[in-house]
Chains A and B, each alone.
Chain A
Amino acid sequence: MSAPPYASKETQLYRTEDVLATLGMIRQHKLDVRTVTMGVDLSGCGSPDLAVLCARVRDRLLHFAGRLRQVCHEVEQRYGIPIVNRRIAVSPVAGVASAHSAEGYLELARTLDAVAEEVGVDLVGGFSAQVQKGWTDGARRLIGTLPEVLSTTKRVCASVNVGTTAAGINMDAVLALGHVLKDAAERTRAHDGFGCAKLVIFANAPSDNPFMAGAFHGPGEPDCVINIGVSGPGVVKAAVEDLMAHATVNPTLGEIAEEIKSTAFRVTRVGELIGREVASRLGVAFGIVDLSLAPTPQVGDSVGEILQAMGVLRIGAPGSTAALALLNDAVKKGGSFASSSVGGLSGAFVAVSEDAALAHAVEQGDLTLAKLEAMTAVCSVGLDMIAVPGETDAETLAALIADEVAIGVINHKTTAVRVIPVPGKAAGDRAVFGGLFGEMTILPIHAAGGSAEFVRHGGRIPAPLSSLRN
């Protein structure tokens, strides 16, 4: 049987069941592209003249991101998959504006805020500094302006990398950031300290992370790049539930891991397709897909619900860490097979206020700060979106940061802290951030105030040994 020259055009290719399975992920299980994040290098924008610097930054962002909204809309229509957020990540601003005073940093933050609104992105990340080994004058000024930036701009997100496995932990910066959190929270008191939700404190921060608030365009990246953050907790949960419903015998954890892997494959593929298409239409590079399972406060879009589907009905109970480790690893395995362009944070987020099931577990008293800290040892991204009592002192916040950063530094992984000391509210009260940031019951900090002397020593916790790894 020889192939006629016209056969290929009409050949039927797709099984109805495959089409309905993929469509079902979008229709019923909230599969979407959580963010298309455009990274833009600003290192060439520097000028001793503040007005020139701001004008250059604005021109460069308009040049690359001017069509981002339109192109994302076109791609959404073409593939019938929602692109929930468009964002921009810029080079760490500490370096871009290093010649300027604190007022210069503030002006640049206002410029970023205005351009973000102009090009239709909801957040712009990169008001950032890397200070793991020490801080420049510029980085120190940037950190000093954070409370004002976080409280007076709408879209600007900040991050500070305070530790790496190679450099250790800059405890001076950690303590300074404890004070920044207090100040930023107080300035946004009317909104339960929401300013702190736009600041991430990192260990081993990735330079290509598309998720906010910690996105920035790091060294080694091209002029402009498109990075993708997919979503998919709902899809993974549905897959696990389906497996349970249709299995004739109780599935083993190995079988559950396989199911999660194959689901992660599909989710990652959607992200890569959308990323490549957006990049191609804009004529810029495609960077990475971040595999992270990013929850939203909606029921059915929760990492916690996946753990429940696996049998950890009370999140925070013993077994929660093991279940999360299984989930995180299976997602990475499926995603890595799906795409060679995987990067960013790529794990399961346990962002408490943003995840309905986790927030509920906190409310029930099942999920504690100590258990959350343990869980972050096996997943990304750390103590994320956690409301703590407003009266918590800066030293205790710094010590909380130091603990989480130490987990990342010692384990060669990214960890991060995004905690909100809610002014005027105590443990058990409700903190409400709204929208994707969600709400939660304020968690108590056990033995708060008991480690102030430790963090006041300052200096640097040395880089860890890389051998004798037990």
Chain B
Amino acid sequence: MKNYIVTVTAADQVGIVQTVAGTIRARGGNILELSQTVMRGYFTIILEVSFPEPLSTKALAGALTADGERFDLTVVVIEADERARQVPVPNGERFILTVLGDDAPGNIHGIAGCLAARGVNIVDLHARVDGTRFALVMEAFLPSDLSPADVRAELEKFGREHGLEAYVQHENIFTATSEPSPVRVGPPLRIQGDAIVPH
């Protein structure tokens, strides 16, 4: 068995997923995980696929592009590397970071810089500009020895100069207020194969 990571981007149209999945199926591949989103009219999919025998990444990308010619797909295929399975922040806890305020070029670069310097790993990020208002919500793992107050102070230092306010909150508060399941404290009891909730 050999695993590959495939990403496909295109202007959104009906039928892209079917075409991509059809190409994979025709070559004996099995999709292990898939995540797709549409943002401002553009479709992006990332998936991990397993094939019984190794194949050429170039050939697979070529086949996907050819089969999806009418969609004008941009395709990248790489071999899955087991080293990527290492969790970048072992024993970290998931926090939700929210930054709100004035839009300006460099906001995300500055915020990400604050976090990278503190060893915070971003696992999900959604940011948008609505008029002149900038809003960013991310899920990030904080190292166990880093307090949320320190991260917030760091972000606020950046934010003060750029008209932004920042919040760093443990994920449990959002679970508690958004889901009917019982309130819990401490680490989440998440099971494998959780449903993915799209933005």
Q: Residues of A at under 8 Å CB distance from B?
A: 1-16, 18-20, 22-23, 27, 77-81, 265-266, 269-270, 272-273, 276-277, 280, 337, 339
Bound Cα distance from A280 to B173, whole angstroms? 16
Distance of A112 from chain B, by nearest CB (Å): 30
Residue of A nearest to B193 (CB): A3
Residue of A nearest to B150 (CB): A77
Residues of B within 8 A of A12 (CB): 35, 123-124, 139, 196-197, 199
With A4-B33, A19-B98 already in contact, the answer to whether A269 and B177 are too (CB < 8 A) is: yes
Q: Which of B140-187 contact A (CB under 8 A)?
A: 147-149, 152, 167-178, 180, 183-186
Query: B32 near A: Cβ within 8 Å?
Result: yes
Bound Cα distance from A91 to B91, whole angstroms? 42
Cβ-defined contact, B147 with A7, below 8 A: no
With A23-B167, A277-B185 already in contact, the answer to whether A18 and B178 are too (CB < 8 A) is: yes
Offer 21 A-B interface pairs, CB within 8 angstroms, sorted by A. Answer: A3-B33, A4-B48, A6-B87, A8-B191, A8-B192, A12-B124, A13-B171, A14-B96, A14-B124, A18-B178, A19-B98, A20-B137, A22-B178, A27-B167, A77-B147, A77-B149, A78-B170, A79-B170, A269-B177, A273-B185, A280-B186
The dominant DSSP class at the B interface is mixed
Bound Cα distance from A459 to B134, whole angstroms? 68
The dominant DSSP class at the A interface is helix
* Top 6 A-B residue pairs of the complex, sorted by shortest distance between their CB atoms: A3-B193, A80-B169, A12-B124, A269-B176, A77-B149, A266-B177
Residues of A within 8 A of B96 (CB): 14, 19
Bound Cα distance from A77 to B149, whole angstroms? 6
Residue of B nearest to A14 (CB): B174
Residue of A nearest to B183 (CB): A272
Query: B135 near A: Cβ within 8 Å?
Result: yes
Interface size class of B (residues with CB under 8 A): 35 or more
Bound Cα distance from A6 to B184, whole angstroms? 23
Bound Cα distance from A79 to B186, whole angstroms? 12
With A6-B85, A7-B193, A280-B185 already in contact, the answer to whether A78 and B174 are too (CB < 8 A) is: no
Bound Cα distance from A459 to B156, whole angstroms? 64
Q: Which of B55-91 contact A (CB under 8 A)?
A: 85, 87
Distance of A465 from chain B, by nearest CB (Å): 40
Residues of A within 8 A of B124 (CB): 10, 12-14
Residues of A within 8 A of B48 (CB): 4
Bound Cα distance from A16 to B81, whole angstroms? 31
Query: B53 near A: Cβ within 8 Å?
Result: no
Contacts A12-B139, A280-B186 known; list 10 others, CB within 8 Å.
Answer: A1-B34, A3-B192, A11-B194, A13-B194, A14-B124, A14-B178, A20-B98, A77-B152, A265-B177, A270-B173
